[in-house]
Chains A and B, each alone.
Chain A
Amino acid sequence: MPRIDWHDDPSAPPVNSLVPAAAAFVERDGEILLIQRSDNGKWSMPGGTMEFGESLTTCVVRETLEETGIHIECTGLVGVFTDPLHRVEYDNGEVRQQFAIVYRATYLAGEPTRSPESPRVEWVRRANVLDLDMDPSQRVRLAWALQHPGDVRIDPP
Chain B
Amino acid sequence: MDSRVNGRIEHWNNPDAPAANSLVPASNLLVVNSSGEILLQKRRDTGQWALPGGKQELGETPSQCAVRECEEETGILAEITGFLGVYSDPNHLIEYLSDGEVRQEYEVTYLGRPISGAPAANEEASAVRWIDPTSLDAYDVHPTMRRQIDDYLAGRYPVAD
Contacts and interface: CB of A to CB of B under 8 A. Distances in A.
A36 interface: no
Given A19-B25, A52-B104, A76-B160, A157 B61 contact: yes
A18 B24 contact: yes
Interface string A128-156: 00000000000000000000000010111
Contact of A77 (B19, B58, B63, B160): B160
Contact of A19 (B23, B79, B82, B110): B23
A88 interface: no
A57 interface: yes
A20 B106 contact: yes
B56 A18 contact: yes
B120 interface: no
B152 to A, nearest CB: 14
Interface string B130-161: 00000000000000000000000000001011
A154 B85 CA distance: 11
11 contacts: A15-B58, A18-B58, A19-B24, A56-B106, A57-B88, A80-B63, A82-B61, A84-B59, A101-B108, A154-B80, A155-B61
Ranked nearest first, the 3 interchain pairs of A and B with the lowest CB-CB distance are A56-B88, A55-B88, A20-B106
Given A84-B58, A152-B158, 19 more contacts: A15-B59, A18-B25, A18-B56, A19-B24, A20-B25, A50-B23, A52-B104, A53-B90, A55-B89, A56-B86, A57-B160, A75-B160, A77-B83, A77-B86, A97-B58, A101-B108, A154-B63, A155-B61, A155-B62
Interface of B: 19-20, 23-25, 56, 58-64, 67, 79-80, 82-83, 85-86, 88-90, 104, 106, 108, 110, 158, 160-161
Interface of A: 15-16, 18-20, 50-58, 74-77, 79-80, 82, 84, 97, 99, 101, 103, 152, 154-157
